[in-house]
Amino acid sequence: MSELLDLDLDAIAQRLRAHDGKAMLRWDPAHDAMATDNAWLESIARWMTQDERDVHRHEAVVLALGPETGAVFGAFVHATVRGQAAGGLRYWPYPRFEDFLRDGLRLSLGMSRKSALAGLWWGGGKGIIVRKPDSPWRDPGYRRTLYREYGRFTTTLRGLYITAEDVGTGPADMSSVFETTRYVTCVPPEVGGSGNPSESTAKGVVCAMEAALDHTGRGDLRGKTIAMQGVGNVAAFMIDELVARAVAKVVAADISAERCDELRSRWPAATVELRVTDPRDRSIFAEPGDIFAPNALGGVLDPSTIPLLKAPIVCGAANNQLLDDGRDDRLLADRGIVYVPDFVANRMGIVNCANEQYGRLDRDPAIERHFGHQWDNAVFVVTKRVLTRAATDGITTSTAANLLADEACRVPHPVWGHRGRALIDALVADYR
């Protein structure tokens, strides 16, 4: 293990500042190892070579420092065989360098698999801006400076990574990114983009719920009870969809009293119960119902929470719901719980904005087909394919989804092939 992993992000910012404010790690196929030309990162390259949990031969990890804000930036590129790495830009605080690295690695891997299973000609990537505890992060002026900086950083990557909206980043922030780079999607409609993808993401997750119910012989959503952790933007749209499908009850827990108060008048109280809970309160996991939906941050399903579950199906919008997908998917399976892997269910955010450059249509058929039951790559169809393969082969649903996605990830872009490899080679000279 590298001692750098335990450093806080202020210490990493100091290291970056001492080395021209930038650094890069990349997978070296010739030596089957992660490599870097930045001597201070050599121990991290060795750690990433040896790690079997999250690295998965990531093609590149690029780090930089905001020139004015001093914020640490990251661009994580898992695979570019199917096309440029695409994925949202997360703005979040991290206590240690390892937490930052693991989150970026897991999220970009998930994006590769998500795009591949959705039939998109995109690779997997993720952007991160580290939120400094002492920064005026709510101030609009500061945020505009910060996101313009990240846009410039994205431009330096030569199109290897295409950024988009994610946790902590909103439409105004994406407008700021768009001011300094062309390599961005999910920009607001007023500048030609598709805007906030939360509604499409929510509809896709509900389609995955319907597939899981159908697979298990439980019918459709009518009359069902759904327990939810988190009522952010995506979750609120999910509740809209569930109420429209005549569910009997939604019980949703969130740590924000302000958010719950804001939403109480949106749905009938008899159908939707909103609970304000302490961050340490895990009672929502034990809520009886037909489906449990993790809609907050990742890593919530682990050996301490899985035994609490009373729902026979887990299907939600959060990324990386399993703390350890090589262990926790088996714990769920051993309890007879059908788990829909997050990247199977929550893909519609990237689908909604991935191909903005090809023009926008109201009720775009290229997007609407993901919500049906006929197209080979529809959410419902892919979810059932994953669950069926798991049952047929006697493997976990997470393993089945990973196998199907990784097979698709190895199919080269039909026009550009594996162009990302050449872009990384070009970046090596830029980051020396």
pLDDT at residue number 198 = 87
pLDDT at residue number 425 = 95
pLDDT at residue number 427 = 95
DSSP string, 71-139: -EEEEEEEE-SSSSEEEEEEEE--SSHHHHHHHHHHHHHHHHHHHHHTT-S-EEEEEEEE--TTS-TT-
Q: Between the CA atoms of 161, 162, 167 and 170, what dihedral angle is there, to the nearest 10 degrees?
A: 140
Contact 236, 260 (CB under 8 A): no
Contact 402, 79 (CB under 8 A): no
DSSP string, 314-348: E--S-SS-BS-TTTHHHHHHHTT-EE--HHHHSTH
In whole angstroms, what is the distance from residue 137 CA to residue 109 CA?
28
Residue 342's pLDDT band (cuts 50, 70, 90)? very high
Q: Domains (ranges, CATH) in the chain?
A: 3-195+421-430 (3.40.50.10860), 198-349+357-395 (3.40.50.720)
Residue 230 has pLDDT above 90, yes or no: yes
Contact 195, 107 (CB under 8 A): no
pLDDT at residue number 338 = 98
What would the two tokens of residue 397 be? 């649903």
In whole angstroms, what is the distance from residue 29 CA to residue 52 CA?
17
Percent of the chain whose predicted confidence (pLDDT) is above 90: 86
What would the pLDDT profile of 133-164 be if each residue is shown by its tens digit? 999 999 999 999 999 999 999 999 999 999 99
Residue identified by tokens 């301490």 is 304
224 is a catalytic site residue: no
pLDDT at residue number 192 = 86
What would the pLDDT profile of 298-314 be if each residue is shown by its tens digit? 889 999 999 999 999 99
Ramachandran angles phi, psi of 261, nearest 5°: -65, -35
pLDDT at residue number 329 = 95
DSSP string, 41-89: GHHHHHHHHH--SS-TT-SEEEEEE-TTT--EEEEEEEE-SSSSEEEEE
pLDDT at residue number 306 = 97
Q: Which residues pair with 78 in a beta bridge?
A: none
Contact 96, 111 (CB under 8 A): no
Residue 1 has pLDDT above 80, yes or no: no
Where is average pLDDT lowest: 45-49, 97-101, 183-187, 190-194?
A: 190-194
What would the pLDDT profile of 343-369 be if each residue is shown by its tens digit? 999 999 899 888 888 888 888 999 999
22, 114, 126, 384: which is the annotated catalytic residue? 126
Give 150 or 195, the one with higher predicted confidence.
150
What would the pLDDT profile of 24-77 be if each residue is shown by its tens digit? 999 999 999 999 999 999 999 999 999 877 888 999 999 999 999 999 999 999
pLDDT at residue number 11 = 97
